[in-house]
């Protein structure tokens, strides 16, 4: 894979998810804003374009020992994977993180005043995330599966919302809000890095928040950069 200033961030991560590590380190959003070129992203984040391309090219040129090529998966299988892997993780972790935030706040609110802001941000966004998951599970994903079946069987399919692009547009907007919220949480917590004298409970909480953030980025990447574009393409085939 040859990487240039005109390469799109989302496409690069689709081809090699390991590159996401570099983008995260540079503060470049590859999931919600994956439709930017490297040049556009570097200008926005004040990142050295040449150095970034060298880092990305060096990593992608290395042999990949383990790499799941989600781009080659059927879209209905990818929807199943997202629902059974990422959706379940989110629901399980939300309860644990909320409980742990309250426990740490009860004991260490004086030492960590920033945590009250994190708690409010997390509470606000998790309500939206849970509603978002339901929309995917009961509206978007079932329709994607119906499109796949219709395409394979050659049958007609009625579209209840005009075009799949309408609910996808809503999902993209909600992804943007989720990503913005966790960028704020990351900044407030010094990108999940605890001070040396922080208590184990606080360090553990930051580790959980960081894992939740990483999973959410992967979740959004799979949808924004792979599942949704391919679903739109399938709809175009059905209409054509």
**182 exposed, middle or buried (CB, 10 Å; 0-12, 13-18, 19+)?**
buried
CA distance 26 to 121: 23
Q: What are the 10-residue block averages of pLDDT along the chain, 240 residues in total?
A: 91 86 88 91 92 88 67 95 94 92 85 88 93 97 96 89 94 95 93 84 90 93 96 93
pLDDT given at position 60: 80
- Closest Cα to residue 176, out of 11, 6, 34, 23? 34
Q: Are 192 and 186 in contact (CB under 8 A)?
A: yes
pLDDT given at position 117: 92
CA distance 17 to 11: 10
pLDDT given at position 67: 63
């Amino acid at each position: 894979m040859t990487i240039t200033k005109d390469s799109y961030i989302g496409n690069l991560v689709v081809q090699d998810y390991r590159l996401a590590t570099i983008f995260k380190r540079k503060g470049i959003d590859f999931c919600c804003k994956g439709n930017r070129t490297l040049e556009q992203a570097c200008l926005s984040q004040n990142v050295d374009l040449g150095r970034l391309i060298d880092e990305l090219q060096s990593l992608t040129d290395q042999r990949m020992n383990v790499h799941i090529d989600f781009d080659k998966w059927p879209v209905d299988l990818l929807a199943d994977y997202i629902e059974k892997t990422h959706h379940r993780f989110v629901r399980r972790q939300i309860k644990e993180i909320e409980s742990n935030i309250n426990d740490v706040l009860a004991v260490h609110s004086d030492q960590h005043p920033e945590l009250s802001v994190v708690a409010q941000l997390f509470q606000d966004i998790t309500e939206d995330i849970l509603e978002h998951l339901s929309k995917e599970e009961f509206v978007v994903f079932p329709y994607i599966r119906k499109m796949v079946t219709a395409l394979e069987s050659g049958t007609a399919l009625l579209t209840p919302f005009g075009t799949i692009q309408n609910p996808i547009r809503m999902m993209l907007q909600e992804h943007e809000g989720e990503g913005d919220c966790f960028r704020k949480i990351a900044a407030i917590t010094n990108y999940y890095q605890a001070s040396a004298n922080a208590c184990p409970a606080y360090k553990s909480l930051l580790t959980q928040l960081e894992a939740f953030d990483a999973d959410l980025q992967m979740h959004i990447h799979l949808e924004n950069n792979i599942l949704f574009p391919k679903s739109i393409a399938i709809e175009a085939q059905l209409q054509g």
